[in-house]
Amino acid sequence: MELNDRNPWQRKAARAWGILCLAVCLPVGSEARNVCLSTPNTSLVLDVEQGEEPKYVYYGRSLSPLDVENIGYVRNCDQPAYPAYGLDCPYEAAFAVRHSDGNLSTQLEVCAMEEKDTGEARTLSIRMKDKVYDFYVTLYYKAYRDVDIIEAWSSFRNEEKGEVVLGQFASAYLPVRRGDVWLSRLYGAWANEARLVQEPLRPGMEVIQNKDGVRNSHTAHAEVMFSLDGRPQEDNGRVIGAALCYGGNYKLRVNTDESEYHHFFAGINEDRSSWHLGRGEDFTTPPLALTFSSEGLGQASRNFHRWGRKYKLAHGDRERKILLNSWEGVYFKINEEGMEAMMSDIAAMGGELFVMDDGWFGGKYSRNSDKTSLGDWVTDRRKLPGGVGKLLREAEKRGIKFGIWIEPEMTNTRSELYEKHPDWIVQAPGREPVTGRGGTQLVLDLSNPDVQDYVFGVVDGLMTKYPGIDYIKWDANMGILNHGSHYLEGNRQSHLYIAYHCGFEAVCRRIREKYPDLTLQACAQGGGRANYGVLPYFDEFWVSDNTDALQRIYMQWGTSYFFPAMAMASHISAAPNHQTFRTVPLKFRIDVAMSGRLGMEIQPKDMTEEEKEMCRRAIADYKTIRPVVQKGDLYRLLSPYEGLGAASLMYVSQDKAEAVFYWWKTEHFMNQHLPRVRMSGLDAEKNYRIRELNRIDNQPLPYEGKVVSGAFLMANGLELPYVHQVERNRKNAYSSRVIYLEDAGD
């Protein structure tokens, strides 16, 4: 497979780690040259010539200086780096513009390049100009020094005499050489997010898109993986991973035409979103993060996780707290006594944070259902006489932190905010507003600077009055259901979808600048904001409103393709489950929740003392393994999607001194036969002591406390009983294991 990156200049003598470039801005010379941009284990090469269109040469495993020098002679990729519409009309384009005189064609040529070194990464920019018009396109490539990710994006500048209109504006294009190429992607719906589908690429067009307007990962994801050597495998084969870092409407296209390539385009969904550029104005697209793995899907995922933790996820270097959220415990029935009781319970079980969810606010309208009060962010003293301040003091007494739920992008028709500012909502001109959740919910228009100030003020007001708030759960329970803005001018209505997210990002940036230590969760009617466009401002996301442990295995498995465990909020919930009504034993629920950021979504007063004690022990054990789970490398071992009756994964610390192995039985039949799972990622030369966590069996496993080599565990694995050895009246169909491995020394 081959990718290309335009670099200004080429040196024959490559630097040791493989970047060919100069440290100043220079025009490109007249002769063709290959430009190489590298990460620790990958290389991207472009063919760049002044006055010509740059072309992709190579993307894959790291190249030696000799190969970089001679790759122009052996390459077989001759695809443009950023195909423009107009002079090759039958083929898909990355970019299309209507020039100020109405001309729809564009022909780009390279005119300049620049390199910037920030220490953590090198960013290369390639400036191109239309051969006739004063219209400029710049391509950017950012290669990280310590993680195998290259980000690519584009920007546009209009210097024509009049306005131009962007009709298509992909962040990047990538040609993928045809062969036995398979696509791995995520799809789903509310309460069933991030389901994995893998399929071979066939002739024709594959389109993955979102048009929600507010959230973008319920029904599909803006991340994909291409397996270049046939059916996707975890540990083998070449893989290209791509993740669009954008929180709004997106479109991913894979066009398999009569050429030798699958043509991959990724960027903002241009549908009803044409962008007008006046003279002297710029437009920049969100980055597309690319990674390459020669060790299957697993290494591609680990590449994304390391990059995500270090460069994209807010506070990616900090361990996440163990929390109790009030939602499934009480729903809207918030009261002071109940909140204090839940705080006492989570503190007694060893938790570190209590989050008061929806239902705490409302002035004129009390928030007793989803039909009122959004926008009226004042404490409902009828429910909380002592206010939020008293709850903060009570949390401090118990030695835990306090968090709170808000939905600041929304309002209800029954709210004081809407009565005062009906022009602040998203509304089609001349039409009645279209409502969402509860029949009364509306979306605020974040393209409007006044609305941006208001939304920032919701957080700022809470934090100013209650600086002890440690955590905010930020929800978004509605998409844009009608297209229109009271703020945008008539000929700029097509800007709404993009301007909304520009406004959202501006608000988030202000919050982070003023409150850098605040923990924020992106909850968007469940898993609607699992994307790297919002994660620079959020510490984690809510994977799904569905907390059923069995179904969570499938959803969290898919999510793990691109996102690290510390970003995935995973909670122990009640049985029967509130969404599926499935009755899953507590042991299984705990074992699933402990594979992500552990929390609880339950009413502790409904639990038995035995169940509370079991959770207390699990929380204590999770604190031991938390650094490994949240900061270690993930190895997916047995997929639930293979239908083999079980699922298994493990996390391994960076120094390979610790590991946590998870195993869950997903199907329940008499006389069933499950595969033995071999481990991965361990040090073959190390010896590991085995300890089972969350044990409920009357007798320990036969290898409890024993020491086994990493080589044996990776070659053979451990034999796991299909059932738990407990009293007959405590038996059930479910079985799961969490095994902690620790370096036993020599």
Please report, for residues 419, 619, 736, the alpha-carbon distance to residue 693 in angstroms, rounded to integers and kept in the order given. Answer: 54, 11, 11
Angle (deg, nearest 10), helices 336-348 and 387-397 = 20
List the beta bridge partners of residue 425. 444
**Cα separation, 274 vs 272, whole angstroms:** 6
- What is the Cα–Cα distance from 721 to 725, expressed in whole angstroms? 9
> Do the domain assignments include residue 388?
no
Residues 100/163, Cβ–Cβ less than 8 Å: yes
Q: What is the pLDDT of residue 20?
A: 35
Q: Residues 345-390: pLDDT tens digits?
A: 999 999 999 999 999 999 999 999 999 999 999 999 999 999 999 9
Give the DSSP letter of residue 309: I
Task: Give, as one character, the DSSP assignment of residue 190.
Answer: T
Query: Among candidates 161, 144, 190, 141, which has minimal Cα distance to 35?
Result: 141
Q: What is the CATH number of the domain that holds 225?
A: 2.70.98.60
Choosing from 312, 335, 368, the residue where a domain stops is 312
pLDDT greater than 80 at residue 559? yes
List residues bridging with 568 in a β-sheet: 541
Residue 553 lies in a domain: no
CA distance 690 to 670: 29
The whole-angstrom separation of Cα 710 and Cα 741 is 10
Whether residue 168 is predicted with pLDDT greater than 90 in this model: the reply is yes
* Candidate from 112-126, 350-364, 479-493, 593-607 with smallest mean pLDDT: 112-126
Catalytic-residue membership of 475: yes
Q: Are 321 and 353 in contact (CB under 8 A)?
A: yes
Q: Return all residues near 183 (Cβ < 8 A) that are at least 6 apart.
A: 198, 199, 200, 201, 206, 224, 225, 226, 227, 254
* pLDDT tens, residue by residue, 651-665: 999 999 999 999 999
What is the residue type of 363? G
pLDDT at 503 over 50: yes
* Alpha carbons 122 and 36: distance in angstroms, whole number: 12
Residue 704 lies in a domain: yes
**Model confidence at 9, in pLDDT bands (50, 70, 90)?**
very low
Residue 19 has pLDDT above 90, yes or no: no
Residue ending a domain, among 253, 281, 312, is 312
Q: How confident is the model at residue 15 (pLDDT cuts 50, 70, 90)?
A: very low
pLDDT at 22: 30
Assess whether 445 carries a catalytic annotation: no
- Helix, strand and coil percent figures for the chain, each rounded to 5: 25, 30, 45
Q: Considering the chain, what percentage of its residues have pLDDT values greater than 90?
A: 92
Q: What is the CATH number of the domain that holds 706?
A: 2.60.40.1180
The pLDDT of residue 11 is: 27
Catalytically annotated residue among 47, 130, 380, 545: 545
| 361 located within any domain | no
Pair 496, 447: CB distance under 8 Å: yes
Do residues 577 and 631 make contact, with C-beta atoms less than 8 angstroms apart?
Answer: no
State how far the Cα of 600 lies from the Cα of 436, in Å rounded to an integer.
28
Per-residue pLDDT tens over the stretch 408-424: 999 999 999 999 999 99
DSSP tag of 26: B
The rounded distance, in Å, linking the Cα atoms of 733 and 723 is 8
The pLDDT, as a whole number, for residue 10 is 26
**144: burial class by Cβ within 10 Å (0-12, 13-18, 19+)?**
buried
Q: What is the mean pLDDT of residues 84-95?
A: 93
Q: What is the pLDDT of residue 76?
A: 66
Q: Tens of pLDDT along 389-401?
A: 999 999 999 999 9
Q: Which two structure tokens, joined as six digits, stand for 664?
A: 């869950």
3-state DSSP assignment of residue 741 = strand
- Average pLDDT of span 70-96: 89
Of the residues 380, 475, 539, 633, only one is catalytic, namely 475
Beta strands 42-48; 33-38: pairing state: antiparallel
Amino acid of residue 439: G
**CB contact set of 522 (below 8 Å; sequence gap of 6+):** 474, 529, 530, 534, 535, 538, 540, 541, 542
pLDDT tens per residue, range 440-459: 999 999 999 999 999 999 99
pLDDT tens column, 507-519: 999 999 999 999 9
Are 723 and 695 in contact, with CB atoms under 8 Å apart? Answer: no
Strands, DSSP E only, in 87-149?
95-98, 108-117, 121-130, 135-144
Count the residues in the chain: 746
Provide DSSP, 42-74: EEEEEEE-BTS--EEEEEEEPPPHHHHHHHHHH
The answer to whether residues 454 and 503 touch, using CB atoms and an 8 Å cutoff, is: no
| pLDDT value of residue 684 | 98
Bridge-partner residues for 705, per DSSP? none
In a domain, 593, yes or no: no
Tell me what percent of the residues of the chain surpass a pLDDT of 70. 96
Query: Does the structure show a pLDDT above 60 at 2?
Result: no
Structural domain contains residue 164: yes
Domain count, the chain: 2
Give the pLDDT score at 3. 32
Residue 445: what pLDDT? 98
Question: Looking at the domain assignment, is residue 724 inside a domain?
Answer: yes
Stated pTM of the model: 0.95
d(Cα 325, Cα 402) in Å, to the nearest integer?
Answer: 10
Q: What is the pLDDT of residue 475?
A: 98
Dist CA 312 CA 308 (whole Å): 5
CA distance linking residue 194 with residue 178, whole number of Å = 27
Whole-angstrom distance, CA of residue 483 vs CA of residue 488? 11
**Better-scored residue on pLDDT, 299 or 23:** 299
Residue with tokens 């385009």: 265
Residues 6 or more apart whose CB falls under 8 angstroms from that of 268 comprise: 169, 171, 246, 248, 249, 250, 251, 285, 286, 498
Closest alpha carbon to 578 in 554, 601, 552: 601
Domain stop point among 260, 279, 312: 312
The 10 Å Cβ neighbour count of residue 631 is: 20
Distance of CA 175 to the CA centre of its chain: 24
Residue ranges making up the domain that contains 707: 634-743
- The pLDDT of residue 7 is 30
Could you tell me the pLDDT band of residue 238, with boundaries at 50, 70 and 90?
very high
Instruction: Copy the structure tokens of residue 654.
Output: 């960076």
C-alpha span between 6 and 46 (Å, rounded)? 5
Q: Would you say residue 696 lies in a domain?
A: yes
